[in-house]
Chains A and B, each alone.
Chain A
Amino acid sequence: MTQFATVTGLVLVGTLSGCMTTRIVTGHDCDTAANDPNSTQLVTAYFWGLKQPTDLRPPCDPRFAHLNGVTVKTSFGNFLLSLVTVGVVTKQRVSWCCAPYTPPVDTLGLGPTVAPGVPLHVSVRP
């Protein structure tokens, strides 16, 4: 029984989780939290790549619009699907991570201040 449970567990883990992960990272700092479902997509290609998914356009802040990382996962289930369909259907999970838009450090106290509620231009960027 224990052996059966172990084998079942192994098969489950192999099937449900990523068995091949490729990660491209330029920086680990992202402007989203980890495992954000808004930053991941399952993509499918058909007929040995003759029909491909269109290019993904991650919704990064347009003021910077850079990526810091991309992860592509092929699970055992995806592999099995490709095997069974002889490559007619190929699936991969793609995740991305936007580089944070970080404005330059501002300096407060360089000029006069005015009362709250009045439109202010107190701070001057160096």
Chain B
Amino acid sequence: MNLPNGIEAHPMAEWTNRHENFTQRLTSSACFKLRIPNLPTSQEQYRQTTANFQWLIRYGIDHNVRLRALGKGWSFSEVAVTDGGLVDTMALRQSFALKPAMVAPAYQTAGRTADNLFFTECGMSIVGLEQQLEPRNKSIRASGASNGQSIAGALSTGTHGGAFRFGAVPETVVGLHLVTGANKHVWLERASYPVASAKFTDWLGVTEVCRDDELFNAALVSFGSFGFIHGVLLEVEPLFLLEDFSAYRVPYGPAVQRLMTHLDLTGLHPWLPLPLTDSTRQPYHLTIIINPHQFDVTGANPGHGVFVQLLFKAPYRPNYPRRPSPAPGFTYGDSTLGLIETVLDHLGNLSAALVPALVNRLYPLAFENTNGTAGTMSETFDNTNIRGKAASAAIGIANHEVPRVLAEIQALNKHTPFPGVLGLRFVKGTRATLGFTRFPVTAVLEFDGVEGKTTRKFLERIWARLEELGIAFTLHWGKINFNLTPALVRRMYGNAAVNQWLGCRQRLLDAPTRRVFTNPFMERCGLDQDPAPRPNPVV
């Protein structure tokens, strides 16, 4: 088969995700790798890649095979893969700064500047973006608190970080170039927030420009099912530092509870001397980590408190106390977590006795003392280097529900010990229609631990308990979420939002193209359906 300039055959009979908790069988002959084509100008290269995406859609339709762009493979769920062919887009890393001629006048008259916009191809990693931006004295506005993902992958699954006054990765995106058919590719941005000028969309050569809030918000978190995301327009900002204020053991008393439920930082002074009156420093990121096996819900035992980390944004300066380099020596092996899983799965009831001791032993190893240090985004949220098999699930809840949910988890953990730790991050709500950070301030409660029966049993019980108590929650699309069903998705997001998302997908993709971009995960969640018809207005 003769392939266009920039497409290579990339046969894969199966593929395992980065955290090794699932293996997806594939149609080997339908797997491809895209590279930046060999052409003289960046525009010709970019447009040829658009044509290559269209060629792939035509291939998918003609061969009746499903396709999905493959990111860095960080998702723990099958949301980002398909049972047909995977298209590796990780080598697509063209990027562009914009001059004012490329930017909508309305954007600039609102006091915004073109030099805070950055356009990049889908394969660009977060760390790659940082390497492009930081030497230009610019910074991304949010990451997933780790920088190994691709920008399109992090966006499409709603990767969140902990920017409690800003939001998740989708909030950094102001325009999307989507390839939505064999003869169609569109520029998508909000009508309420126009960014691109006609010169920019002409440069892309799009067949359609869509300025539509509903479409844009639906496309932001769409797991690669709204066509191929070719380009992403990001809003960035002047380079800044994140200053670290963290304490290993803070009693779970009123101060921490007010921090969680009202984002009130004032009670933390005995443990964290925060610069609350310094107008040059603004709170940005909040993380709380809890060892459920050493967690005193009464707050009486300071030894069984929680880890609290607050990062404050400050203007960049060249001299700052940098984070320590990782200590040399040994680390746990690639098979360690898998080995623990096997042991726990085979121990039966004995694992309940073993888990707390195991977690208590390993918990301190997860921490580096970074209190008092500072760093750019790339230095603060660098690569998460988990080795081998791991499990992670995350629920989104309204932040005022956190103490109630933690009490439930603590009670459950006494009966079914969780082989892992809990992380809490706080994120400003998203405008993405199916963004899982959907509450005004979403507390993202993460369960990070060993993959295996024990973990899955624990998660199932927590999810069931939250439903039983009527506590509204969402599940991270890219983490363990094996209980998702069409009914649960609709309970989480509401019928209106789900129908709106389905309707937008139908508006952008015709039926043959929708089939190419539908995967088994979407079928399981009922997201492959046509939207329910809207009731006719009463005349």
Contacts and interface: CB of A to CB of B under 8 A. Distances in A.
Interface of A: 2, 5-6, 9-10, 12-14, 17-19, 21, 27-38, 61, 73, 100-103, 105-110, 113, 115-117, 119-123, 125
Contacts of A123: 41-43, 96, 203
A119 B119 CA distance: 21
Given A37-B15, A102-B132, A106-B97, 11 more contacts: A12-B342, A17-B335, A17-B339, A29-B127, A31-B123, A32-B88, A33-B73, A107-B99, A109-B99, A122-B41, A122-B203
Contacts of A18: 333-335
Q: Counting chain A CB atoms within 10 Å of each CB, which of B73, B90, B333, B385 scores highest?
A: B90
B465 interface: no
Nearest to B41: A121
A32 B346 contact: no
Contacts of A5: 346
Interface stretch (B5-13, B215-223, B286-294): B5-13
9 smallest beta-carbon distances between A and B, as pairs: A109-B99, A116-B205, A34-B18, A109-B101, A109-B102, A17-B335, A6-B346, A9-B342, A28-B383
B94 A13 contact: no
Interface size grouping (class) on chain B: 35 or more
A107 B90 CA distance: 22
A17 B333 CA distance: 11
B264 interface: no
A113 B338 CA distance: 56
B78 to A, nearest CB: 14
A100 B93 contact: yes
Nearest to A125: B42
B504 interface: no
Contact of B43 (A61, A73, A120): A120
Nearest to A120: B43
B433 interface: no
Given A100-B90, A108-B119, A35 B342 contact: no
B82 interface: no
Contacts of A34: 17-18, 72-74
B138 to A, nearest CB: 10
Given A33-B88, A34-B73, A61-B91, A103 B36 contact: yes
Q: Counting chain B CB atoms within 10 Å of each CB, which of A31, A36, A73, A108 scores highest?
A: A108
Contacts of B13: 37
A117 B99 CA distance: 22
Contacts of B458: none
Nearest to A32: B90
A30 B72 CA distance: 9
Interface string B143-175: 000001000000000000000000000000000
Nearest to A9: B342
Interface in B55-113: 70-74, 88, 90-91, 93-103
Contacts of B10: 38
B348 interface: yes
B100 A109 contact: yes
B361 interface: no
A29 B125 contact: yes
B202 A107 contact: no
10 contacts: A6-B343, A17-B335, A32-B90, A73-B334, A101-B35, A107-B96, A108-B203, A109-B101, A117-B205, A122-B203
Given A34-B18, A34-B73, A109-B100, A19 B136 contact: no
Contacts of A125: 42
A46 B342 CA distance: 34
Contacts of A10: 339, 342-343
Nearest to A7: B346
A21 B43 CA distance: 43
B208 interface: no
A109 B128 CA distance: 23
Contacts of A107: 96-99
Contacts of A38: 10-12, 33
Contacts of A113: 199, 202-203
Nearest to B9: A38
Contacts of B136: 105
Contacts of B123: 31, 100
A116 B206 CA distance: 8
Contact of B200 (A31, A35, A102, A108): A108
B44 interface: yes
B91 A105 contact: no
Contacts of A17: 334-335, 338-339, 388
A37 to B, nearest CB: 6
Contacts of B492: none
Nearest to B347: A6
Given A2-B348, A36-B15, A105-B96, A28 B148 contact: yes
A75 to B, nearest CB: 9
A105 B95 contact: yes
Given A17-B338, A32-B88, A33-B73, A109 B199 contact: yes
B346 A9 contact: yes
Contacts of B94: 103, 106
B72 to A, nearest CB: 6
Nearest to B136: A105
Contacts of B183: none
A36 B17 CA distance: 9
Contact of B88 (A14, A28, A36): A36
Contacts of B343: 6, 9-10
B148 A108 contact: no
Given A102-B128, A106-B95, A108-B119, A35 B345 contact: no
